[in-house]
Amino acid sequence: MRTTRGWPNLLRAVLVGGPYPASLLAVLLDRIRADHVVNHPRVALIKAVLTRRARLAGTTQEEGSNLVGLDESRTEPGYLLGRLFAVLERIQEVAHGRELSAIIRDKYIGSASSTPKLIFHFLNRLAQQHLKKMRRDDQGAYRFLENRLDSITQKIVGYRDSLSVDDRGLFFIGYYHERHWLRLPKAERLKTENLKTAQAGEPNTVPE
């Protein structure tokens, strides 16, 4: 996939439903690591590679049935770490607003998605400083984001030294899903949270 020689395999995968070229996912991940851009086309292609692979392996019944939006029941390390990174980024943004010249994605998303153990302890300590400021300035946002942070952190069993290629793909999907959810209008967040609460009997943590 790094040259035009990969295009016939990609076209065949699209037209007849075969496997995507083995190098495609790695190329996508390398590109994101280089320019820090996590957008819909890239995430959609990562999802396509992973769901096609799962379908061909017989581990999912219907292609496209998974990874279509934020799924808080998923427990894969990569997906959870991506969601966590999105919350840490949002905490920084809310705490400092227009004072920010750069966000943690600009410096750390590459290392967080490949060698999480090296970076997440630092990012969590940094987030506590941001939360301390937010607690003084915006109690509602503080409670919401602290609860969001805790709900994800509780599901993570330690930080791995490294992530597999598939888990790195899931990292960016989880990041994209969580980042999108955090930026929804309050009414839409309330709607999704109320649905989850009705299904699981959990308290609503979306700020008023």
Are residues 11 and 88 part of one domain? no
User: What pTM value is reported for the model?
Assistant: 0.83
Are residues 88 and 50 part of one domain? no
Q: Coil, strand or helix: which one is 98? A: helix
What distance in Å separates the CA atoms of residue 56 and residue 65, rounded to the nearest whole number?
14
Q: Residue 61: pLDDT above 70?
A: no
- Through-space distance between the first and last CA atoms of the chain, rounded to whole angstroms: 48
Helix boundaries (H) for the chain: 7-16, 24-35, 40-57, 77-96, 104-114, 116-137, 139-153, 165-182, 186-200
Distance of CA 149 to the CA centre of its chain: 13
pLDDT in tens, 158-204: 999 999 999 999 999 999 999 999 998 877 777 766 666 555 555 54
Q: Residue 207: pLDDT above 50?
A: no
Residue span of the structural domain in which 157 resides: 77-185
Q: Which residue has the tokens 């016939």?
A: 8
Residue 191 domain-assigned (yes or no):
no
Helix axes 24-35, 165-182, angle to 10 degrees: 50
Residue 197 domain-assigned (yes or no):
no
Are residues 133 and 87 part of one domain? yes
Residue 190 domain-assigned (yes or no):
no
Are residues 84 and 155 part of one domain? yes
What distance in Å separates the CA atoms of residue 63 and residue 130, rounded to the nearest whole number?
40
Are residues 148 and 108 part of one domain? yes
Are residues 112 and 161 part of one domain? yes
Residue 63 domain-assigned (yes or no):
no
Residue 100 domain-assigned (yes or no):
yes
Residue 72 domain-assigned (yes or no):
no
Residue 137 domain-assigned (yes or no):
yes
Are residues 111 and 33 part of one domain? no
pLDDT band at 100 (very low <50, low <70, confident <90, very high): confident
Are residues 106 and 30 part of one domain? no
Contact in structure between 113 and 163 (CB atoms under 8 Å): yes
Are residues 143 and 104 part of one domain? yes
Residue 49 domain-assigned (yes or no):
yes
Q: Residue 63: pLDDT above 50?
A: no
What distance in Å separates the CA atoms of residue 171 and residue 110, rounded to the nearest whole number?
10
**59-68, 101-110, 167-176, 188-197: which range is least confident on average?**
59-68
What is the pLDDT averaged over residues 82-86? 98
Are residues 89 and 39 part of one domain? no
pLDDT in tens, 12-40: 556 556 677 778 899 999 999 999 999 99
- Number of structural domains (the chain) is 2
pLDDT in tens, 126-155: 999 999 999 999 999 999 999 999 999 999
How many other CB atoms are there within 10 angstroms of residue 74's CB atom?
A: 17
